[in-house]
Amino acid sequence: MSQEFSTGFPHVRQVQNLIRDKQSVEIKLLTGDLISGRILWQDPQCICLETDDQRKHQIWKQAIGFIKY
């Protein structure tokens, strides 16, 4: 299944701004886990979050409850 990645959607633009500004975020997963760091990239299905200890986490967007910034 192919999803189009459109920067016309507000949620895509907002995440792009967070990446550009290298802003720290907290991501709450549907499992209840909370991960903090900065978003390095996004694609239609995933985002990559780098934590303070420089570990990188690829997170499926469907697993995200919310992003706090």
CB-based contact 37:50 (threshold 8 Å): yes
Rounded CA-CA distance 7/37 in Å is 23
Domain ranges of the chain: 23-68
Q: Supply the pTM of this predicted model.
A: 0.87
pLDDT per residue as tens, the chain (69 positions): 445 667 788 889 999 999 999 999 999 999 999 999 999 999 999 999 999 999 999 999 999 999 999
CB-based contact 47:15 (threshold 8 Å): yes
Indicate the fold that domain 23-68 takes in CATH.
Answer: SH3 type barrels. (2.30.30)
Rounded CA-CA distance 48/50 in Å is 7
Helices and strands per DSSP (H, E), number in the chain: 1, 5
